[in-house]
Structure 1
Amino acid sequence: MSDEQSSAEITLRLFVVARWVMLVLIAFGWTLQTISPGMFTWVVSWFPPPPEPTGTAAVVSLLVLGNLWVRLRVLGRGRATTTIAGVHLLVDSVALTALLALSGGVTNSFTTMYFVPMTLATQLSPRWTWAVAAASLLGFAALFVLAPAPAGPPGHEHHFLGHIRGMWVAFGMSAAFMTYFVHRIALSLSRQRAELTRLRLAAEQDRQLAALGTLAAGAAHELGSPLGTVAMLVGDLGVMSEAERADAIATIRQELRRCKTIVQQMSSPELRVPSLGRASEAWPLARLADELHDSGGELRLQIDVDASARGVSTSQPIEVLGQIVRAVVANAVDACRARAGSTGVRLRVAVEGDQAHITVIDDGAGMAPQAAAAAFDPFFSTKPEGQGMGLGLYLARAHLRALGGTIELASQLGHGTTVEVRFPLTEALRAAAGASV
């Protein structure tokens, strides 16, 4: 729906409500007159003369029919336009003039009701705003002709008529000022809404580009390890025995399959980046253990799936979580290899409330406090030059933020590192949608 259609529909809906309120008040007056004439006489003594019943009933009937037509044929079918809204506001000004003429004319204190269609017209366009304002001003002026001339106190008829005419002039000036300033405010708000919409779309595009960039960096980081293994084995093929060469070729094939899997995942970013709006099918949390097959190499990798996690499923994308856990475990394995006598890596999968809790513990080389504080910075690495890109933990934290999760690291130099990963079992987007239903 365009901005013009949206403004027209909002104006028509408010107009229908305002008209119903006026009709209900008129119906209330008729009901009170029927049930309690004395009470009705006392009430109307505070207000203008009682309306002429036949003419008023005809105008009210037309307004009711007009309201029903707008509700059923226009709003009900999504056909609201600026022209329809503007025409109905003009019709309402004419109908209000008729009702006022049938109940005291210019002496009726409810002439200020002209401001209702004028205010609603500011949501349409400058042309309709000034057209409705002019129609209301002319309607007020027509009351001097359509209704009997007002009779003031004896001896002050001229002064009273001058007062009424002054009210018309004051109404015209107020209408002009109100129409101009309210319409300027409406235009300013419209421009602000358009700018906010533009900024929201730009931010969404930037967020998606950043997510795709993070995805590409993650794929490059994951490809580094198998390609490095392939390069090393290819370089040593010439000096290997037949048995060693066969094992090397088998390993190369395995690493190439791994590379192919990473590239396939890269070609389907909607599976890797939930911020792009795609939901994942639920899968058992214990399946994360399968993602760590052979991750420890010659080192011992102990995986413990806590009783709280058994039988529990999550809708978070397994490709993202698999990459995160593999990166953390790979760092732990490298740290253990750098320290003689290491016993290996321990991984624990547990569930606490609606949060999954994954803990990776190693007794490897550990990190100094300064290095631990910078561990999540991009391109920071404690590994020898050429053996790491320094993106593993940075990308893990970026992905976890998109999932609504966190990652924390505690390390002590020479004693090992503990990494704790937490994330909600249900995707943030899906949970938000469920809460809004």
Structure 2
Amino acid sequence: MDAALSPERNTVRPKRLPKQRGRIRLRTIVFIRWIAVAGQLSTLLFVHFGMGYPLPLLWSLATVAALAAVTVGAQIRRSASHRLTDRESALYFAFDMVQLSVLLFLTGGLNNPFAILILAPVTVSATTLSYRSTLGLAALAITCINLLAVRHLPLPWGDGGYELAPNFIWGFTISLGLAVIFITSYVYRVAQETRRLSDALSAAQAALDREQSLSSLGALAAAAAHELGSPLGTISLVSRELQREIEADDPIRADIDLLVSQSARCREILAELSRRPEEQPDHFNAMPAPLLIELAAEGHRRPEVALRIEEQADPADPVTPMLPRRPELIHGLGNLLQNAIEFAREEVKVAITWNAAEISITISDDGKGFPKELLDRLGDPYLSSGTDLKKTAERKGDHMGLGIFIAQQLIERSGGAVSFDNNSYGGAEVIATWPRSAFEGASEHD
């Protein structure tokens, strides 16, 4: 398991999803903009008429009207439920930032206490948009802040006006610029982690749903074989009796022979369905742990890699434990076994140990092991190894570590816990442990 987090070591390679249109609906943008229009308009009118401070009212109202006009145009052109692309959302936020900057230019620049609102578009962008769009909006915000620091109309005030000290303005400029950088970096990384976790959990749920669908299909096949057996037996019996009674030279003898052969073929197909225990979860609810390991590894085996299964029984409890054929258990162990088999040199060893309190399955391979610098982060979705940047770049967009994440989530869902380490001879080692209480019902179906 030497490269568990490199592009080659993805235990699950889901299909690439089509590029999504975006995460923000037009309705959300429109709603926020109308709040901005109402807030800006009421503030301008209150300051000019209520407080009696002179404002360039005509230009200020024209700036607010521009925001309202663009918002109305967006509502007319598209449905409110339309989801914006990353580029479209970035353009909307850029316009909002420029409009706010123009309004601040007319009302005192950074002397205006509402200048802090210029951080709002950057914050929303860091939460929802791509890194490129967020970086572009951050650069635009810093540019607007610097321009407002040096060029702006006087702050509306009483007789004599009001102007903050230049040192304070430049300090405020630097603090706003640092706030933009901090928000862009911090909020974006937190939001990205949340998005990745959400996507990975969706992938884990999809894997579990797929296993459950296959299990349901097997149950349906077994039920069909059982239900069709009786009527097919009757058809076969009647056709054979007709075959015995009709002479060989009778014109319909050929049709009767065909009916007998096809009914026999149908019985063989139904018998084949009935002989597949992996497709009959209703009849094989539990099986010995080694057999479950064989079933989970099926489909991942490589001729050049031996799979060795060992049982290490507790002397006080020598009976091999029965494990349930749950889809999450088979798929989770299958992911870990696929990982081990793919990167082993010659052998993968599976040790099954148990006692009265717990059951443990240890999967070891003779590869190079997990990268030491990433051992503590194993189980996080979308990891990539910094020591393999070239290969990572070649496989840009792959789901780094998603297979291990899915395996861990599915095993934990079954009541177990997973730990990762490197074994004494350098290979990787994964230990999955369950309390015996997690499988208490399995033996009842033995």
TM tier, smaller: 0.3 to 0.5
Using structure 1 for the length normalisation, give the TM-score.
0.46
State the TM-score, normalizing by the size of structure 2. Answer: 0.45
Structure holding more helix per residue: 1
* Structure with the greater alpha carbon radius of gyration: 1
